[in-house]
Structure 1
Amino acid sequence: MPSTTVKAPQESAASLSHGLKQRHLSMIALGGVIGAGLFVGSGAGIAAAGPSIVLAYTLSGLLVMLVMRMLGEMSAAHPSSGSFSAHAERAIGPWAGFTAGWSFWVLLCTAVGLEGIGAAKIVTGWLPGTPEWAWVALFMLVFCGTNLTAVKNFGEFEFWFAALKVGAIVLFLVLGVLAVAGLLPGTDSPGTANLTGRGGFFPGGGEGLVVGLLASVFAYGGLETVTIAAAESEDPVRGVASAVRTAMWRIGLFYVGSMAVIVTLVPWDAKAVVEKGPYVAALDELGIPGAGPLMNVIVLIALLSAMNANVYGASRIAYSLVDRGLGPRVLGRVSGGAPRVAVLASSAFGFACVVLGYWRPDDVFSWLLNMIGAVVLVVWILVAVSHLRLRRSRSFPLLTWVALAGMTAILVLMAREPGTRVQLYATGGMTLALAVAGYARQKALPVATV
């Protein structure tokens, strides 16, 4: 355990309700795996890496599995709505918990704004002439309201959202596998033509694989929500362990499996992969009528689900930080079993991001996006370091060191790519500023008495 003379207030989640059931946690874990990043964002990765996107998602998926294994182990031992932030505080010190928690809060709140914009664009496509900002405001109000009530309402929303997404991805995989095997009526098996032709399996070479790898890493963001939610479940220890196991094997099925189906069915350099999205392009290739509108509905559900989950995650992270003496006390007020002030603050930040995107899309908003670009990696590194320090007296945690080596390699790759170098530097600047602020606050905390 770390040697520090600072005593941080220990989190007590007694004032939070425990209304999440095991089925809620399982579906929250699944819902975190299936997001708009998979349905839409994977198109850019395919365009850069070609068929090797399957390898990229496999490598980054293995890294995510290692991170979730570490996080699940620590969360089962010490369930907390602060999740990795609380673990970093215990293992490294309050400054690390402060840095991890508030950087992730900024990430989640900014993501809420982005998802609101994306969802509004889909709806205005169906209802042209309606103002985009009005739809964003409506979505924000709905999910802010959902999170202001008992946590079981959040759990029910996420349960059904995730059920719809899981159903959609399973149906896609079944149709895709049948088509690849030549068993789908009206279609012929494409064989390996799209995998070996058009430049081969690595058409973009090593550089293309790197771009695909970086894109895949950030598509996995959101899995951490289940360990945050565990603190409000009926059985936190059993619940988080089961939910993490569920999420881990689904990674291979949903991400890697669907990427393999897509690049087998559709030429990787087809314009539709980026313009329409890879899933729509694959369904169009199969000649399924109404594929575009259907996938738009699924993507809308994914975006709304992510908004709901991110408002929840941000509010709980903020509550935990305050409860541990690492944030303004006003955000720690709880009523009705929910940290309502933290919910309002998180929602307000998300809406402010939307306003920034409308007023200053070319500078302020893009700078904000760059600032959160590598936050997921910062959190994962702190998870790994926390796991190492909390397990120092046990057997040598080889897999944790392997995960750290993988994260270091990704940081090096980000520094080499012009498109991601800016994100790396901006996130680094924010992380340094938060670390300094966290250390200053740590010095101001009461000294432990033994």
Structure 2
Amino acid sequence: MPPTITAPSRPPETPEPELSKGLKQRHLSMIALGGVIGAGLFVGSGAGIAAAGPSIVLAYTASGLLVMLVMRMLGEMSAARPASGSFSVYAERAIGPWAGFTAGWSFWLMLCMGVGLEGLGAAHIMTGWLPGTPEWAWVALFMAVFCGSNLAAVKNFGEFEFWFAALKVGAITLFLVIGGLAIIGVLPGADSPGTGNLTGVGGFMPNGTEGLIIGLLASVLAYGGLETVTIAAAESENPVQGVAGAVRTAMWRIAIFYIGSMLVIVTLVPWNDKEVVEKGPYVATLDQLGIPGAGQIMNVVVLIALLSAMNANIYGSSRMARSLISRGQGPAALGRVSSGVPRRAVVASSAFGFFCVLLSYWRPDDIFQWLLNMIGAVILVVWMFTAVSQLILRRRTERDEPEKLTVRMWCYPVLTWVALAGMTAVFVLMAVEPSTRGQLAWTSGLTIALAAVGYARQRTAARRRDGVSD
């Protein structure tokens, strides 16, 4: 009888020694901010304000609390086992390979489309400054620059993102200070608006519950990108301490920036002012205060914010692709690492951004909304995988390796279940609201398709192992 041949087993979490360790703690902290402070806050929030009115503050508060819970879960798992695949690795370990496949490639697609969105937003600003120049040319230029920067050593990406994010944080902080002074009536040349804009233009909730729901959905989608810091942790000098510190600081900083900004804007500017959507809420607010040149300065900040998020999205998508491929969840040819950088994954992840160059040339009027619809509620799918994974892995870690729980989810498992209930409620609201039903349909179709492919791959791999072992 010939000897039994047993197929080598692949652990759910594959070590990735080829990736460099060039990111420092300061890089991680700023990457946590840079990945999320982009089009969603500076540009997309205008539509949320137009729909919800002053109640947008409630929408951002509710979604911000949900994000804090998700980030705490990710922080717990990432501190215990840092991996560049982040929640995809944890979903695979907790639920199965099909779940890691679905969560990972969903997120990859979301970030790739986010690259296109950020590029289009930045190009729109440039064409405003230089009328007559084509948007597609600007998108092509930005894509070439940031694809190139991500092909270099990861420490170069970290430095780029550190200074980009530092400028954004400084600008938003200054905006909050100026806005706060204007609200209390001590800013020279600006009278305090009191509560007139909060209650006097149709009331605090001018479009009723429907408007609040639209604002809530917009705010949830705007928070997408925070997860990048847990992906970057695997390439830091001290992953466990790095991700723990970055998650803690990112949560409260972003809560202040998002919720505080919305409160300042709707207090100083009437929610139905057309410039809130046309110029963007930040520029409209500074123009309203009559600060010379402030609006254009903020446009520069918005441009940098968009480019920063674009840079972070290319990074996050390439590392997610690399992690999936290293676990046998993608084409092996793209997994090669050169000088500590997965360059083929960077190019593949940038490809959709370059495709957006053509899309912005062919369909300049509706490409932005089309991309938004495509991304839809992918981030909610990722968060649900994260919450379920945390429920399962927390029990395993407490049983087998309790010393690795250096970061712990608050009130486990109660708040994890609360977060899952909140995500389910958002899905229900998307199904009820006509304006977001299409996004939910796109997301549902994408998730089902990826889950089916992932499950088929899992069954095929299992049959091969059984056949070889027999």
Which TM-score band (shorter chain)?
A: over 0.9
How far apart, CA to CA, are the structure 2 residues paired with 1:170 and 1:326? 42
In the alignment, structure 1 residue 118 sits paired with structure 2 residue 134: no
Question: How far apart are residue 418 of structure 1 and its match?
Answer: 1.0
How far apart, CA to CA, are the structure 2 residues paired with 1:376 and 1:402? 17
How far apart, CA to CA, are the structure 1 residues paired with 2:367 and 2:215? 27
Superposed counterparts of 1:23-422, under 5 Å:
23-360=26-363, 369-392=372-395, 396-422=412-438
Change in CA separation of 1:361 and 1:273 when aligned onto 2, cut-off 3 Å: closer
How far apart, CA to CA, are the structure 1 residues paired with 2:128 and 2:307? 16
2:458 to 404, 424, 442: 442
1:141 is paired with a residue of what secondary structure? helix
Q: Is the 8 A contact 2:326 2:335 kept in 1?
A: yes
In the alignment, structure 1 residue 431 sits paired with structure 2 residue 434: no
Q: Amino acid of the residue matched to residue 137 of structure 2?
A: A
Greater displacement, 263-272 / 354-363: 354-363
Question: How far apart are residue 309 of structure 1 and its match?
Answer: 0.5
Question: How far apart are residue 289 of structure 1 and its match?
Answer: 1.1
How far apart, CA to CA, are the structure 2 residues paired with 1:193 and 1:266? 10
Greater displacement, 195-204 / 61-70: 195-204
Q: Is the 8 A contact 2:13 2:93 kept in 1?
A: no
Pairwise CA RMSD: 1.9
Q: Is the 8 A contact 1:20 1:232 kept in 2?
A: yes
Greater displacement, 337-346 / 273-282: 273-282
Percentage identity across aligned positions?
Answer: 77
Q: How many residue pairs were aligned?
A: 445
Q: Is the 8 A contact 1:30 1:246 kept in 2?
A: no
1:79 is paired with a residue of what secondary structure? coil
How far apart, CA to CA, are the structure 2 residues paired with 1:265 and 1:38? 17
TM-score by length of 2: 0.91
| 1:290-319 residue CA offsets vs partner (Å, 9 max, x unmatched) | 133112111110111011101101100000
Change in CA separation of 1:362 and 1:259 when aligned onto 2, cut-off 3 Å: closer
How far apart, CA to CA, are the structure 2 residues paired with 1:403 and 1:184? 40
Greater displacement, 215-224 / 386-395: 386-395
How far apart, CA to CA, are the structure 1 residues paired with 2:67 and 2:249? 13
Q: Is the 8 A contact 1:53 1:259 kept in 2?
A: yes
| 1:233-275 residue CA offsets vs partner (Å, 9 max, x unmatched) | 0000000010001110012210111111111111111122112
Question: How far apart are residue 363 of structure 1 and its match?
Answer: 8.5
Q: Is the 8 A contact 2:39 2:117 kept in 1?
A: no
1:13 is paired with a residue of what secondary structure? coil
How far apart, CA to CA, are the structure 2 residues paired with 1:267 and 1:304? 29
Q: Amino acid of the residue matched to residue 231 of structure 1?
A: A
Greater displacement, 27-36 / 427-436: 27-36
State the partner residue of 1:3.
none
How far apart, CA to CA, are the structure 2 residues paired with 1:39 and 1:362? 20
TM-score by length of 1: 0.95
Q: Amino acid of the residue matched to residue 21 of structure 1?
A: K
Q: Amino acid of the residue matched to residue 183 of structure 1?
A: V
| 1:353-408 residue CA offsets vs partner (Å, 9 max, x unmatched) | 33234335689986654232110000001001101111236685100000000000
How far apart, CA to CA, are the structure 2 residues paired with 1:368 and 1:114? 7
Change in CA separation of 1:27 and 1:368 when aligned onto 2, cut-off 3 Å: closer
Change in CA separation of 1:174 and 1:365 when aligned onto 2, cut-off 3 Å: closer
| 1:156-202 residue CA offsets vs partner (Å, 9 max, x unmatched) | 00001001101100000000111111111122211111112112211
Q: Structure 2: state its 5+ residue gaps.
A: 1-8, 399-410
How far apart, CA to CA, are the structure 2 residues paired with 1:204 and 1:226? 36
Q: Structure 1: state its 5+ residue gaps.
A: 1-5
Q: Amino acid of the residue matched to residue 61 of structure 1?
A: G
How far apart, CA to CA, are the structure 2 residues paired with 1:92 and 1:246? 29
How far apart, CA to CA, are the structure 2 residues paired with 1:213 and 1:416? 13
